[in-house]
Amino acid sequence: MRLPPFAYERPRDLYEALELLNTFGKDCRVLAGGTDLLVRMKQGLATPSRLISLKDLPELATINESDGFLNIGTAVKLADILAYEPIQYRWPGLLEAVKSVGAPSIQHFSGTIGGNLCQDNRCQFYNQSKFFRQARQTCNKAGGNTCFAWKGGSDKCHSICQSDSAPILIAMDARITIKSKNESRTIPLEELYSSVGERPLTLADDEMLTEIHVPGPVPGAGCAFEKLTYRSSIDYAVVSAGAYVQTDGSKTVNARLIIGAVARGPLAIAAVEKTLKDRTAGDEEAIDQAGREAMNAAEAFIANNITQPVEYRTQMVSVITKRALSRATKRALSHTDVSEAK
């Protein structure tokens, strides 16, 4: 498979990069690790006339901690996140999610955190070669007006967000910085996702995600990421879940649950917080109920967009939810004093 022609830019600083984005807008794409974008370009799913490489922008490739936040530059490689030692005990949920991305030698040395968050939505009818797609009508995501993943068709695209880091980072209340030539804004990560399959990110054409800010651990809080796959490596999630649970040592005081790989964006299950709040932390009945709620909420979104059956994925939302919440709760209860926990 060959890449189509394009122009290549390797800006020396962020300002130059943003200026290029400003000039060329939707005709150009940011090239980080390339593990998502270059495959789509080979398949003719993305046709930018210009790529802007982040290779020479070390300012986007740093990890540091300040003001209680872990700040990760958009071009930080997944391998570098795994190698950042404090993550082992302070952000174990993020560690689990990053570890689970693809396979170590594929994604970890090339793939970046920004790339993982900004990857395009996927669908088994869309992420195929041009030749494969030619045999059918053009689907919504490819600019046509039908959807093969939705029973009976649909005027909306029912692709899914397969980012593994998004559910856990949203559960952890991460924020992101987005920059353009003339503006810089910091917003909750969940606002990056539009829930529109055709265009899953809210980034404007001249904008770039530059940094992720992850809040430091809070005493009594824990998080966990759970991902169901058929193989131990390579696979995208059948269902994934990021969970955040905060306790007062015995009761749950706050909880957030985000389901991945079922909807057009990471799917927040609002009911879970209400269900768990003020219940004994780790109460099985409460967690079971949360699992059912997550399943009920997700059911409406699950389309035939990956090779595993819809019914099975729906059931698995409950199982994966419960596992993520249980582990997050366990961590919450054992990490009452995070500064010493190791």
Partner 1 sequence: MNKQSLEIIINGEKYSLAVEPNRTLLEMLRDDLELTGAKEGCGEGVCGSCTVLMDGKPVRSCLTLALEASGSHVTTVEGLAQHGELDPLQQSFIDHGAVQCGFCTSGMLMGAKGLLLENPHAGAKEIRNSLSGHICRCTGYTKIVEAVESVVESSKEKR
Partner 2 sequence: MQTVLYVTDDQERKGNKEIMEEFTVIGKRISKVDAVDKATGRALYIQDFKLPGMLYGKILYSKYPHARIIRVNTEKAKALPGVITVLTGEDIPPVRLGVYKDNPPLKAGKVRSYRDEVAAVAATDLETAREAINLIEVTYEAVPAIFDPEEALKPEAPLVHENHKTNLLKMPWNLHYGDVEAAKIEAAFNVEERFSTTWVTHCCMGTSGAIADFDHADNLTVYTNTQIPSLAQKDFQETLKVLGFKDKRVRVIKPCIGGGFGSKLDTYAYEHVAILLAWRSRRPVKIVFEREEEFCATSPRQPTVTYISMGCDKEGKLLYRDMSMVLDNGAYTSWGATTPSVMMMPITSLYRVPNVRYNAKCVYTNNTYSQAMRGYGNPQATFAIESAMDMLAEAAGIDRVEFRRINSNQPGDVTPQGLKITTCGLPECIEAVSRDLEFGRPREKGVGVGLASLIHVGGGARIYKSDGCGTIIKMDDYGKVDVFTGASDMGQGADTIIAQIVAEELGVKVEDVHVFHQDTDICPWDVGAHASRTTFVAGNSALGAARKIRHRLLNMASETTGIDEDKLTLKNRAFFADGKQVLPIGKLLRGSHFKPRGEMMMADNFYDPPNENMGRDFSGNMSATYSFGTHGVRVKVDEATGKVEILDYIAAHDVGRAINPMLLDGQVHGGVLMGVGYALTEQVILENGRNMNPDFRDYKILTAMDAIHSKAVVIETVDEQGPFGAKGIGEPGCVPTAPAIANAIYDAIGVRIKDLPITPEKVLAAIKKKNGAVSCGIDAFTQKEQPCE
Terminal C-alpha separation, the chain: 47
In the list partner 1, partner 2, none, the entry touching 31 (Cβ below 5 to 8 angstroms by class) is partner 1
CB nearer to partner 1: pick between 38 and 218 = 38
Beta partners for residue 256, in sequence order: 244
CB nearer to partner 2: pick between 8 and 230 = 230
Q: Kindly state the smallest distance separating residue 52's Cβ from partner 2, in Å.
A: 24
Please list, residue by residue across 138-175, b when 16 or more beta carbons sit within 10 angstroms of its beta carbon and e when fewer do.
ebbbbeeebbbbbeeebeebbbbbbbbbbbbbbbbbbb
CB nearer to partner 1: pick between 53 and 315 = 53
Nearest CA to 94 out of 84, 102, 103 is that of 84
- How far, CA to CA in Å, does 218 sit from each of 34, 172, 241, 288? 35, 10, 20, 25
- Whole-angstrom Cα distance, residue 69 to residue 66? 5
Q: Kindly state the smallest distance separating residue 319's Cβ from partner 2, in Å.
A: 5
Contacts of 161 (CB under 8 A, 6+ apart): 119, 121, 193, 200, 260, 261, 263, 264, 265, 266
At 99, list the tokens.
């570890």
Q: Kindly state the smallest distance separating residue 93's Cβ from partner 2, in Å.
A: 20
Q: Kindly state the smallest distance separating residue 78's Cβ from partner 2, in Å.
A: 17
CA angle 222, 227, 231 (to 5 degrees): 145
Crossing angle, helix 310-334 and helix 284-299, to 10 degrees?
140
In the list partner 1, partner 2, none, the entry touching 309 (Cβ below 5 to 8 angstroms by class) is partner 2
CB nearer to partner 2: pick between 193 and 236 = 236
In the list partner 2, partner 1, none, the entry touching 135 (Cβ below 5 to 8 angstroms by class) is partner 2
Q: Which amino acid is at 142?
A: A
CB nearer to partner 2: pick between 165 and 308 = 308
In the list partner 2, partner 1, none, the entry touching 51 (Cβ below 5 to 8 angstroms by class) is partner 1
Q: Kindly state the smallest distance separating residue 153's Cβ from partner 1, in Å.
A: 28
Residue pair 21/180 in contact (Cβ under 8 Å)? The answer is yes
CB nearer to partner 1: pick between 62 and 184 = 62
Nearest CA to 203 out of 319, 145, 277, 120 is that of 120
In the list partner 1, partner 2, none, the entry touching 189 (Cβ below 5 to 8 angstroms by class) is none
Q: Kindly state the smallest distance separating residue 310's Cβ from partner 2, in Å.
A: 6
Query: What's CA 306's distance to the chain center, in Å?
Result: 17
In the list partner 2, partner 1, none, the entry touching 304 (Cβ below 5 to 8 angstroms by class) is partner 2
Strand order in the sheet with 69-73: 63-66, 69-73, 208-215, 175-179, 184-188
Residues forming contacts to partner 2 in the complex (CB under 8 A) are: 1-2, 103, 124, 128-132, 134-135, 151, 228, 230-236, 304, 307-312, 315-316, 319
CB nearer to partner 2: pick between 176 and 306 = 306
In the list partner 2, partner 1, none, the entry touching 312 (Cβ below 5 to 8 angstroms by class) is partner 2
Residues forming contacts to partner 1 in the complex (CB under 8 A) are: 1-8, 10, 31, 34-35, 38-39, 42, 51, 53, 55, 79, 102-107, 109-110, 232-234
- Whole-angstrom Cα distance, residue 113 to residue 107? 10
Q: Kindly state the smallest distance separating residue 124's Cβ from partner 2, in Å.
A: 6
Q: Kindly state the smallest distance separating residue 109's Cβ from partner 1, in Å.
A: 4
